[in-house]
Amino acid sequence: MSDTGGLAAPPAVTYPTVYAPPAAPLAGTDLDPPLRALDRHCRELSEGMREAGAAVDRDPDAIAGLLHLPAVGFQAQGSLPPEYRDTGAHPAGPVQASASSLGWAVTAERLAYGDAGVLLACPGPSLSGLAVEALADDAQRTAYYERVTSAPTWTFFGLTEPRKGSAAMELETSLAPDDDGTLVLNGEKRYVGTAARAQTGVVFCRRAPGPWGIEAVLLDTAQQGFEAELLPMVGLRGARISHIRLTDLRVRPEQVLGRHRPPSRRGLYGALHVLYRGRPGIAGMALGVTQAVCDYTAAHRPAMPASARGRLDGVLDRAAALRRLVHTVAGEIDHGVVDVPRIGAVKSRAAALAEETTLLAAELLGPASLIEHPWLEKAYRDVRAFEYMEGTGAVHRLSVFHGLVKGDLLGSGPVPEPYVTPAGVSARAGGRSAG
């Protein structure tokens, strides 16, 4: 029986069988032919995800029995280098299109329309793969991808700490030499997606004072000194948010990512590389659930008054505007440009809009709507997690303020290496984005 992290699992429910995701293209999009093909493919893949989502919400371990679903396998393919992809499982065009930041935003929205919890529960490289791509040498990269493609493998990205949050400059987890010269890792990480299930992952830690004293190490969760436990969750249970304790964990030199790089291009740059690239995907997920809740509300109250219809249409208009902004910032990332305040702003607004939409739906469907509509009740719980993924709204509002003060909020600058993605290498964040 699955550990639910200290909270009672929700009762078993059956969701309505009516499922009609909007046809491509979605309002606010201006996609080229490969991305339109990806959008259509993901729309088809999302079929069946709501039933799977009910199972994962009840028991997060149920994902192990859902690996046959096409969406589960597809979401990881674009985060793999071309030589490690399963070329027979999915069309090559959509897989390649999903490898970009923009492609992942499109994929995340369509699959989250089906169920965001399933998307976050899937095995694959996820955020740790981005850190490996940004920092690893050839031997580390080969070992990592051979492992995650040899069998269904869950991974984690350990940045957030109990006392410091995701402030990469203030990490307290330490990597220090022992008396015999080996490296020893000690500390804690909190709010890390799938760490209690994962077989491998990346932990950021401090080896020396200052910004260039941060390192990223690739761990095996079977190593002595690694312990992870589930945290209580009320939504997005498939993400399995966890607390990690690292106690005198021995780190071999080959586990330190970026050891061949100068200090200025190692741990800190890897952390920022992942955070910036992950945010458009979270925004896409939030917009996917927003669209799904609007469609669900309209389907279950087709004869709503004009005033109510106008409020629902207003949400859809805002979603279309945000979708265009998400696609814009994701496309800029793919071209080596990161506008940090704007990326944070669209992620924060998309998360807030998803919450507002569930409140509106609960109002329009009546005072007992969260009891009479189990899927809506689940969506209501799920969307409140987006606020805390890849930085809270307060963090992003501060970033927007700094952008306004500097006068460059609406402008962009080139991204320092290693953010510029080499040709043929995945540029996007995979499924889990917590941590």
pLDDT digits 0-9 by tens, 71-122: 999 989 999 999 999 988 899 999 999 999 999 999 999 999 999 999 999 9
Contacts of 433 (CB under 8 A, 6+ apart): 120, 126, 127, 193, 278, 281, 282, 389, 390
Contacts of 191 (CB under 8 A, 6+ apart): 160, 231, 241, 242, 243, 388, 434, 435
What is the predicted pLDDT for the residue at 429?
A: 39
Whether the predicted pLDDT of 296 surpasses 50: yes
Across 216-237, average pLDDT: 96
Q: What is the pLDDT of residues 29-80, one digit of tens each?
A: 899 999 999 999 999 999 889 999 999 999 999 999 999 999 999 989 999 9
Pairwise CA distance, residues 64 & 294, whole Å: 30
Beta strands (DSSP E) in 18-99 are none
428: confidence class by pLDDT, cuts 50, 70, 90: very low
Whether the predicted pLDDT of 424 surpasses 80: no
What is the predicted pLDDT for the residue at 274?
A: 81
Q: How many residues are there in the chain?
A: 435
pTM over 0.85: yes
Pairwise CA distance, residues 344 & 329, whole Å: 10
**Largest Cα span, the chain:** 75
CA 25 distance to own-chain centroid = 23
Kindly state the helix (H) or strand (E) to which residue 293 belongs, with its residue range: helix 267-300
Tokens of 339: 């506008």
What is the predicted pLDDT for the residue at 2?
A: 47
Whether the predicted pLDDT of 22 surpasses 50: yes
Query: Which residues lie across from 230 on neighbouring strands?
Result: 242
Average pLDDT of the chain is: 88
Kindly tell me the burial class for residue 309, based on how many C-beta atoms sit within 10 Å of its own C-beta (0-12, 13-18, 19 or more): middle
- Where do we find the tokens 């690694």? 226
SS (H, E, C) 157-222: EECCECCCECCHHHCCCEEEECCCCCEEEEEEEEEECCCCCCCEEEEEEECCCCHHHEEEEEEECC
Q: What is the DSSP string of 304-334?
A: --HHHHHHHHHHHHHHHHHHHHHHHHHHHHH
Parallel, antiparallel or unpaired: strands 183-192 and 174-177:
antiparallel
Whether the predicted pLDDT of 411 surpasses 70: no
What is the predicted pLDDT for the residue at 282?
A: 96
What is the predicted pLDDT for the residue at 276?
A: 84
Pairwise CA distance, residues 264 & 256, whole Å: 15
Whether the predicted pLDDT of 251 surpasses 70: yes
Q: What is the pLDDT of residues 175-219, one digit of tens each?
A: 999 888 789 999 999 999 999 999 999 999 999 998 889 999 999
* Residue that wins the pLDDT comparison between 415 and 236: 236
419: confidence class by pLDDT, cuts 50, 70, 90: very low
Q: Is residue 187 within 8 Å of 161, Cβ to Cβ?
A: yes
Pairwise CA distance, residues 58 & 11, whole Å: 7
What is the predicted pLDDT for the residue at 170?
A: 86
Of 29-33, 296-300, 403-407, the one with minimum mean pLDDT is 403-407
Parallel, antiparallel or unpaired: strands 200-206 and 256-257:
unpaired
Pairwise CA distance, residues 398 & 165, whole Å: 15
What is the predicted pLDDT for the residue at 229?
A: 97
What is the predicted pLDDT for the residue at 1?
A: 40
Query: Which residues lie across from 215 on neighbouring strands?
Result: 205
Domains present along the chain, CATH in parentheses:
1-151+269-435 (1.20.140.10), 152-265 (2.40.110.10)
CA distances from 200 to 195, 217, 220 (A): 8, 11, 5
Q: What is the pLDDT of residues 147-174, one digit of tens each?
A: 999 999 999 999 999 998 877 788 999 9
338: left (phi over 0), alpha (psi -120 to 50) or beta: beta
Residue of 121, 158, 128 lying closest to 245 (CA atoms)? 158
Query: Which residues lie across from 165 on neighbouring strands?
Result: 161
Pairwise CA distance, residues 345 & 261, whole Å: 32
Q: Is residue 357 within 8 Å of 290, Cβ to Cβ?
A: yes
What is the predicted pLDDT for the residue at 33?
A: 95
Pairwise CA distance, residues 142 & 267, whole Å: 19
Torsion of CA 368, 374, 375, 378, to 10 degrees: 90
- Most confident range (mean pLDDT) of 18-27, 105-114, 252-261 is 105-114
What is the predicted pLDDT for the residue at 421?
A: 40
CA distances from 235 to 74, 280, 381, 389 (A): 23, 21, 5, 13
What is the predicted pLDDT for the residue at 311?
A: 97
Query: Does residue 287 sit in helix, strand or coil?
Result: helix
Of 65-69, 171-175, 258-262, 294-298, the one with minimum mean pLDDT is 258-262
* Percent of the chain scoring above 70 in pLDDT: 89
5: confidence class by pLDDT, cuts 50, 70, 90: low
